[in-house]
Structure 1
């Protein structure tokens, strides 16, 4: 598959006129290590790191949800600036919680610096919201089981058959990152009770069991290609991974291929085929948006069956060209320009001193998202 021309996220252009006084700042303190986001385990100790360099003496403190933390038997502050939570609790007896945003504060004679906010969340595991269902498959056909569960961190999914781990090193077994288990070329020994197993730092959970029943006998009779499971419509954010399923059966076994409905090439960068025909697109971009067509072809013929699904990739708004500080003589024009991109196309709003600007005789909007000040009368 050849790579097509990359399509950038739609952009918004804005122009605003305003003179802003620039400021520079400096300090004698700087962080060499700031706290990072952590997923904590209930009743386990947790360390938040903070290191700062500067002219001594330096004192450090911590805040959680904006309030200063007082040392006690559960909160210990070390001389190097780190904070130890002895026994992390999502919900305490008094109704409070160790969850929240933590900040490290360092101070010396010259001033004070504040670290980034580190979010501390409890590891969790919900109940399965999608349980596997029993299926019946013909000998040589395909079977598919699915389960879904929410957790923090994202639970790792594995499968068991009759209480024993499924050997996914067998090419006939495909375990997708979404937790779906696919079995192709089904054999009698594949029959049994299948169970989905989810585990993360919060614990382990087993789904209800689902039976795979294999019927029929080995046959070389021609069977039309058929797509059992096709790609679903997906809406993702840039940098996520898209999994487009395609499970096909028939005799002889059909060949699965992929294309885009608009005729553009799918490309090769970040593209991987999983199992017998599933398409995985890693690190999706806006240009990956489109309708994808899965085709099951009878070998050596033009006989084929197709299924399609739409992939929509959204991109958060970001500034490509933020407005720059300028100065102009009284009575002259001044223009501020702002360029932003994202998918969907972002809408730009202008503020002055925290108040929304509205077009008038003194302020004009250009390109739907730009402001031009005419006859600026010394207003900053």
Structure 2
């Protein structure tokens, strides 16, 4: 949808342009304004991108000098731009933390920092180095009902042309609370399938390993499959697999052990058993270029054959596709085209008897700019237009900033499309 530019009595000109694409939403936004602005774009997933600033310069004119009709596009070294912006980081309690901020532009350039939108006062544990880096000498966790040093930080650079604000960097505290899911004891026929799972919320994500009888598990055995979501699968179980299992979670904050679970082997069975899917794929949301693992483990006698398909009938393909263990699907370097509902089927050999389980894979793309605003030189009283185009999944939300502050529509400012 597009609307032709309209001219209003105030002399301000504004318009609306929308351009969308189904697989990767494209957002176009125009800003018609007198003044200088920069912009940022974010998505519901919390990811944010920001472009370099664009400015409007009104040249000084002698009295009664005629107003030039042309708009002059220009880009100079006087304008501020970031060489390095602060990035998301996980801090460790009582250890130092640094957030970097490097800016290019005409000197002098003043660097300041904000936490959760409020100015951050330097002093004591908190210092701003000469190169603009923020140093927190000893990171502290929440206390007295506050969040301590945890929060969102951004740096602001200012010179005589205006102010430019960086992306927001999320600073979290490393932690490893107790397990919220522990492995459960089970009895399995010899030759059958065993599955244990433990779950824990760690920051950063904990590395999970397993022990049997309090000794590290031999993961070189092809019958053992470890999945990143804290799952241990054992296929073709033997008497030697019997024992007490537990998982170990480790990250930079701590190491924790789960409760113990016993695996009992009950003996060989020759009786017929219909296919059963012990655990099927779970709904999963990830970002492009990450790896997706969809679990599917089945048991039965005779041993069922596990296969995968898409509910929409499209081919899964072969590039980047791998089967882990006896039926888990791994997709490396996922793209938007991998989004969909996946079907795991457990078939009894030689028959049409089967069991199925479904899981939805959602692939998101972080916001990125396709078109940036350009700086212009304008006479006082004239009109200028800044245009940006961004794409991402989900559809990004565009935000305009002027000298580091969110720009709101007014009598001389018009914002179009997606500036909700």
Please, what TM-score do these two structures have when normalized by structure 2? 0.66
The corresponding residue for 2:354 is 305
The corresponding residue for 1:129 is 180
The corresponding residue for 1:290 is 341
Q: For 2:165 and 2:390, how far apart are their aligned partners in 1?
A: 30
Question: Is the alpha carbon distance of 1:58 and 1:260 closer, same or farther for their aligned partners in structure 2, counting shifts above 3 Å?
Answer: closer
The corresponding residue for 1:90 is 141
The corresponding residue for 1:30 is 81
Q: What secondary structure sits across from 2:103 in the alignment?
A: strand
Q: What secondary structure sits across from 1:189 in the alignment?
A: helix
Contact 1:238/1:286 (CA < 8 Å) preserved in 2?
no
How far residue 138 of structure 1 moved from its aligned partner, in angstroms, is 0.9
Structure 1: any 5+ residue segments left out of the alignment?
Answer: 1-7, 325-337, 348-352, 356-368, 371-380
Q: What secondary structure sits across from 1:295 in the alignment?
A: strand
The corresponding residue for 1:249 is 299
Please, what TM-score do these two structures have when normalized by structure 1? 0.72
How far residue 305 of structure 1 moved from its aligned partner, in angstroms, is 2.8
Q: For 1:13 and 1:50, how far apart are their aligned partners in 2?
A: 29
How far residue 341 of structure 1 moved from its aligned partner, in angstroms, is 8.4
Q: For 1:116 and 1:170, how far apart are their aligned partners in 2?
A: 46
Question: Is the alpha carbon distance of 1:285 and 1:143 closer, same or farther for their aligned partners in structure 2, counting shifts above 3 Å?
Answer: same
Structure 1 residue 68 and structure 2 residue 119: aligned? yes
Q: What secondary structure sits across from 1:113 in the alignment?
A: strand
Q: For 1:319 and 1:177, how far apart are their aligned partners in 2?
A: 29
Q: What secondary structure sits across from 2:201 in the alignment?
A: strand
How far residue 34 of structure 1 moved from its aligned partner, in angstroms, is 1.5
The corresponding residue for 1:120 is 171
Question: Is the alpha carbon distance of 1:63 and 1:146 closer, same or farther for their aligned partners in structure 2, counting shifts above 3 Å?
Answer: same
The corresponding residue for 1:373 is none
Contact 1:256/1:276 (CA < 8 Å) preserved in 2?
yes
Contact 2:336/2:365 (CA < 8 Å) preserved in 1?
no
Question: Is the alpha carbon distance of 1:125 and 1:72 closer, same or farther for their aligned partners in structure 2, counting shifts above 3 Å?
Answer: same
The corresponding residue for 2:40 is none
- The structure whose RCO (Cα within 8 Å, separation 6+) is larger is 2
Q: For 2:251 and 2:257, how far apart are their aligned partners in 1?
A: 12
Structure 1 residue 169 and structure 2 residue 245: aligned? no
Q: For 1:155 and 1:311, how far apart are their aligned partners in 2?
A: 24
Q: For 1:15 and 1:176, how far apart are their aligned partners in 2?
A: 41
Question: Is the alpha carbon distance of 1:77 and 1:339 closer, same or farther for their aligned partners in structure 2, counting shifts above 3 Å?
Answer: closer
The corresponding residue for 1:278 is 328
Aligned length: 329
Contact 1:248/1:296 (CA < 8 Å) preserved in 2?
no
Contact 1:9/1:342 (CA < 8 Å) preserved in 2?
no
Q: For 2:158 and 2:368, how far apart are their aligned partners in 1?
A: 33
1:186-222 deviation per Cα after TM superposition (whole angstroms, max 9, x unaligned): 11121111112112222111111111111114x7x47
Out of 219, 231, 234, the position equivalent to 2:283 is 234
Contact 2:322/2:331 (CA < 8 Å) preserved in 1?
yes
Q: What secondary structure sits across from 1:194 in the alignment?
A: strand
Q: What secondary structure sits across from 2:202 in the alignment?
A: strand
Q: For 2:86 and 2:311, how far apart are their aligned partners in 1?
A: 47
Structure 2: any 5+ residue segments left out of the alignment?
Answer: 1-20, 37-53, 56-75, 374-388, 398-407, 411-416
Matches within 5 A, 1:230-379: 230-234=279-283, 236=285, 239=288, 241-250=291-300, 253-282=303-332, 283=334, 285=336, 288-298=339-349, 301-302=350-351, 304-311=353-360, 313=362, 354=409
The corresponding residue for 2:73 is none
Q: For 2:366 and 2:168, how far apart are their aligned partners in 1?
A: 22
Contact 2:280/2:297 (CA < 8 Å) preserved in 1?
no
Question: Is the alpha carbon distance of 1:77 and 1:94 closer, same or farther for their aligned partners in structure 2, counting shifts above 3 Å?
Answer: farther
Q: For 1:119 and 1:244, how far apart are their aligned partners in 2?
A: 29
Question: Is the alpha carbon distance of 1:180 and 1:103 closer, same or farther for their aligned partners in structure 2, counting shifts above 3 Å?
Answer: same
Structure 1 residue 147 and structure 2 residue 198: aligned? yes
How far residue 182 of structure 1 moved from its aligned partner, in angstroms, is 0.1
Aligned alpha-carbon RMSD (Å): 3.9
- Which is worse superposed, 306-315 or 71-80? 306-315
